Chain A
Amino acid sequence: MRGPLFLAPLALVAGGTALATAPIAQKLGEPLPPRTPEQVYSSTCAYCHGANVGPVIRGRALPAAMVEMTVRQGRNAMPAFRPSEISPAELHGLAQWIEAGPADLKEKGQ
């Protein structure tokens, strides 16, 4: 018989905070395709920034160059993210998007 062993869960508690964005489509056997700024933000940044772990960074017109440097070097308690994790092109797009984009009022920062 094809298909799962069980039916879908009946009583799931709400999951993590950053899966609201549509999942990134990846084909079996192929590398992850280039991601949009929203997808990079959702799959990495948003788990801390705006989630009470790191400061809110959207809607503050943070200079793109500073965003790029911070991502690569990991400012203070923030881990560094390598070109193998967020490609140079993805990072460039992300930094521009953060600088120019509006705040997300659902985000929380401590």
Chain B
Amino acid sequence: MTVTLDRRGLLGAGVAGAASVGLSGVAGAKPVLAKGMRKADFKGAIAAMRAVVGPEWVFADEDAVRPWRKTYVPDPSGRHAPVGAVCPGTVEEVQALVKIANQFRQPLWPVSTGKNMGYGMTSTAAPGQVVLDLKRMNRIISVDPELCTALVEPGVTYRQLKDYLVEHNLPLWIDVPTVGPVASPVGNTLDRGVGYTPYGEHFMVQCGMEVVLPNGEILRTGMGSTRNPSAWQAFKWGYGPYLDGLFTQSNFGVVTKMGMWLMPAPPVYKPFVVRHKRVEDVAKIVEAMRPLRISNIIPNVVLMMSAGYQLAMFQRRGEIWDHPEPVTDEALMAAGAKVGLGYWNTYFALYGTPEMIAANEAIVRAAFAAIDGEVLTEAEMQGNPYFHHHATLMQGGLSLEEVGIVRWKGAGGGLAWFAPVAPAKGNETTGQIALAKQILGRHGFDYTSAFAIGSRELHHIIALLYDKSDPEEEKRADACYRELVAGFGERGWASYRTGVHAMDLVAQQYGAVNRAFNATLKHAIDPNHILAPGKSGIA
């Protein structure tokens, strides 16, 4: 049904009452225009955008928008489908588009490369938004081989940056998330994502931003606004309040350039895996790992991968378990043992001179010998695809092998990451695993997980895997995810990040004062609410 209502009549109305844009949406729903938008406003905004970037870079009809609507996260009602997309090529075009958005009150949803798989890709948190697709802005502005820094636009992929370093024979490493080849350093950093080298905490190694504010002005953070911004990528803090954090996991501006630090390639890199056989072993692994991470003897972000997660990379569920009930730990352990996996497979690496590595390897081996860990290296794991995958990631190598997990339940692909945070203490793990299995099992889903230790915190990374081609299963996945957020929240375990389908829900875990403060900032910075309403629950 397509209805046309005047703007005043729609203000404050729910989604069901908003005007349809005429697109047929996901699961039979029709994407609707944003609150207060009339069809005439939408058409006016689209026409004005075409005049800025050219008609070939604006997309507003059903077939044309389809590539921006593909998502792995559950969206049974189709409310996260965008109504259009616009692809600027320059920062000046971004400024012009933001002004058009203000004029017509058309919300824009910025994406960098739009490949945050399992978090929403280019789908939007609230209905009626036009994707501001920054992928064409893919310039590497500068690389400084002495300071080991780079300045890049949002559309640059990790692969592009790596290509540049290889072509120019610069011995600098990148640090990649698990979807590195097609993902963007800017997008991943702004979502506060992580990688697996010593530079794995991406926001920690970010330095300086250029931001188009909702009023179209350009803000350069840190040293970038000084008369001679020679230290823009060298010194993070500048003077006065530190602003960069405001533009991560937020909707306060469009980041059009970002500085980042690059790790010098070490003389020696040595990856390890430690195998443990039992589910409950993870508690003592965390206890052993914490002091090694805090003291930086192990300098990279450590992953403790469960057999379930590892097996799902290269195998389908039916090859391991043919029952509708969640796959058992025993079945996973048996299948894992056949391919050289423990129940927990803890990956870390040492970096430095041969002397540094020899000294630290002795400490690490002693720590894991004390908890019956089987410490293995390339010498023993040659040819093991799981070890090879993580050895690749921990040196900033490029791989998409983990994307294979989206086919675990069926060809339809379905994935939503659930990532609660706890302190890095072993006694936090047991309760989390039990609660996750309880909630997932109630909805008929498997426990597929990893733990990660950045420094002092423990991320429990749970892949909610479902078959998106089955509408009933998609509804169950949506309900399950919500129960995970609520159930973990009650125990004090809130998520560090979530997909577009659950941003408001996760924001609720952080309390009314936090939400009100963000809303106050939003209204002051973006009074027309034209940038990504609903992002991180900030409306």
Nearest B residue (CB) for A42: B159
Pair A4/B264 contact, Cβ less than 8 Å? yes
Question: B residues 362-385 with Cβ under 8 Å of A?
Answer: 378, 385
The answer, yes or no, to whether B489 is at the interface (CB within 8 Å) is no
- Stretch of B27-35, B137-145, B327-335, B493-501 at the chain-chain interface: B137-145
Pair A4/B145 contact, Cβ less than 8 Å? yes
Known contacts A8-B171, A13-B388, A53-B403; A84 and B269 CB within 8 A of each other: no
Nearest-CB distance from B431 to chain A (Å)?
A: 32
The answer, yes or no, to whether B457 is at the interface (CB within 8 Å) is no
The answer, yes or no, to whether A34 is at the interface (CB within 8 Å) is no
Pair B264/A53 contact, Cβ less than 8 Å? no
A73: which B residues are within 8 A, CB to CB?
A: 66-67, 70
A17: which B residues are within 8 A, CB to CB?
A: 399
Q: Which of A2, A14, A73, A80 has most B Cβ within 10 Å?
A: A80
Choose one: A6, A29, A47; the contact of B141 (CB below 8 Å): A29
Pair B138/A13 contact, Cβ less than 8 Å? no
In the bound assembly, the distance between CA atoms of A30 and B137 in angstroms comes to 9
Choose one: B137, B163, B269, B406; the contact of A77 (CB below 8 Å): B406
Q: CB-defined interface of A1-29 with B at 8 Å, one 1/0 digit per residue?
A: 01111111111111111110001111011
The answer, yes or no, to whether A102 is at the interface (CB within 8 Å) is no
Q: CB-defined interface of B164-185 with A at 8 Å, one 1/0 digit per residue?
A: 1011001110000000011000
Nearest-CB distance from B407 to chain A (Å)?
A: 5
Choose one: A6, A25, A48; the contact of B400 (CB below 8 Å): A48
Pair B138/A6 contact, Cβ less than 8 Å? no
Nearest B residue (CB) for A27: B140
Choose one: B143, B385, B398; the contact of A15 (CB below 8 Å): B398
- Stretch of B114-122, B187-195, B213-221, B290-298 at the chain-chain interface: B114-122
Known contacts A23-B163, A32-B160; A79 and B140 CB within 8 A of each other: no
A32: which B residues are within 8 A, CB to CB?
A: 138, 160
Pair A13/B160 contact, Cβ less than 8 Å? no
Pair B391/A16 contact, Cβ less than 8 Å? no
Choose one: A4, A43, A78; the contact of B181 (CB below 8 Å): A43
The answer, yes or no, to whether B531 is at the interface (CB within 8 Å) is no
Pair A31/B181 contact, Cβ less than 8 Å? no
B72: which A residues are within 8 A, CB to CB?
A: 79
Pair A9/B399 contact, Cβ less than 8 Å? no
Nearest A residue (CB) for B122: A82
Pair A13/B395 contact, Cβ less than 8 Å? yes
The answer, yes or no, to whether A72 is at the interface (CB within 8 Å) is yes
The answer, yes or no, to whether B87 is at the interface (CB within 8 Å) is yes
Pair B164/A23 contact, Cβ less than 8 Å? yes
The answer, yes or no, to whether A63 is at the interface (CB within 8 Å) is no
Nearest B residue (CB) for A82: B67
Nearest-CB distance from A98 to chain B (Å)?
A: 18
B171: which A residues are within 8 A, CB to CB?
A: 4, 6-9
In the bound assembly, the distance between CA atoms of A41 and B141 in angstroms comes to 25
In the bound assembly, the distance between CA atoms of A53 and B182 in angstroms comes to 15
How many chain A residues touch B (CB < 8 A): the figure is: 48
The answer, yes or no, to whether B247 is at the interface (CB within 8 Å) is no
In the bound assembly, the distance between CA atoms of A52 and B312 in angstroms comes to 12
The answer, yes or no, to whether A59 is at the interface (CB within 8 Å) is no
In the bound assembly, the distance between CA atoms of A53 and B314 in angstroms comes to 7
Pair B268/A24 contact, Cβ less than 8 Å? no
The answer, yes or no, to whether B342 is at the interface (CB within 8 Å) is no
Known contacts A4-B170, A16-B399, A44-B182; A79 and B115 CB within 8 A of each other: yes
Pair A11/B133 contact, Cβ less than 8 Å? no
A44: which B residues are within 8 A, CB to CB?
A: 181-182
A26: which B residues are within 8 A, CB to CB?
A: 140, 160, 163-164, 167
The answer, yes or no, to whether A101 is at the interface (CB within 8 Å) is no
Q: CB-defined interface of B300-315 with A at 8 Å, one 1/0 digit per residue?
A: 0000000000000011
Pair B67/A81 contact, Cβ less than 8 Å? yes
Nearest-CB distance from A56 to chain B (Å)?
A: 14
Known contacts A12-B395, A74-B67, A76-B412; A53 and B400 CB within 8 A of each other: yes
Known contacts A15-B398, A16-B398, A110-B314; A48 and B271 CB within 8 A of each other: no
In the bound assembly, the distance between CA atoms of A7 and B268 in angstroms comes to 9
In the bound assembly, the distance between CA atoms of A2 and B144 in angstroms comes to 10
Pair A83/B67 contact, Cβ less than 8 Å? yes
Choose one: A5, A8, A31, A81; the contact of B148 (CB below 8 Å): A5
Pair B141/A28 contact, Cβ less than 8 Å? yes
Q: Which of A2, A51, A85 has most B Cβ within 10 Å?
A: A85
Known contacts A23-B166, A79-B117, A83-B67; A31 and B138 CB within 8 A of each other: yes
In the bound assembly, the distance between CA atoms of A31 and B87 in angstroms comes to 14
The answer, yes or no, to whether B424 is at the interface (CB within 8 Å) is no
Nearest-CB distance from A57 to chain B (Å)?
A: 15
Nearest-CB distance from A100 to chain B (Å)?
A: 25
Pair A82/B135 contact, Cβ less than 8 Å? yes
Q: Which of A7, A47, A78 has most B Cβ within 10 Å?
A: A47
Nearest-CB distance from B181 to chain A (Å)?
A: 5
Nearest-CB distance from A80 to chain B (Å)?
A: 4
Known contacts A4-B171, A28-B140, A52-B401; A80 and B66 CB within 8 A of each other: yes
B162: which A residues are within 8 A, CB to CB?
A: 19, 23
Choose one: B137, B138, B268, B388; the contact of A11 (CB below 8 Å): B268
Beyond known contacts A13-B391, A29-B140, A110-B314: 17 more, CB 8 A cutoff? A2-B145, A4-B148, A7-B171, A13-B269, A13-B388, A23-B163, A26-B167, A28-B140, A44-B181, A47-B398, A48-B400, A74-B70, A79-B115, A80-B67, A80-B68, A82-B67, A84-B133
Residues of A at under 8 Å CB distance from B?
A: 2-19, 23-26, 28-32, 43-44, 47-48, 51-53, 72-74, 76-85, 110
Q: Which 7 residue pairs of A and B lie closest in terms of their CB atoms, listed nearest first? A: A77-B413, A23-B163, A80-B70, A15-B397, A84-B135, A47-B400, A16-B398
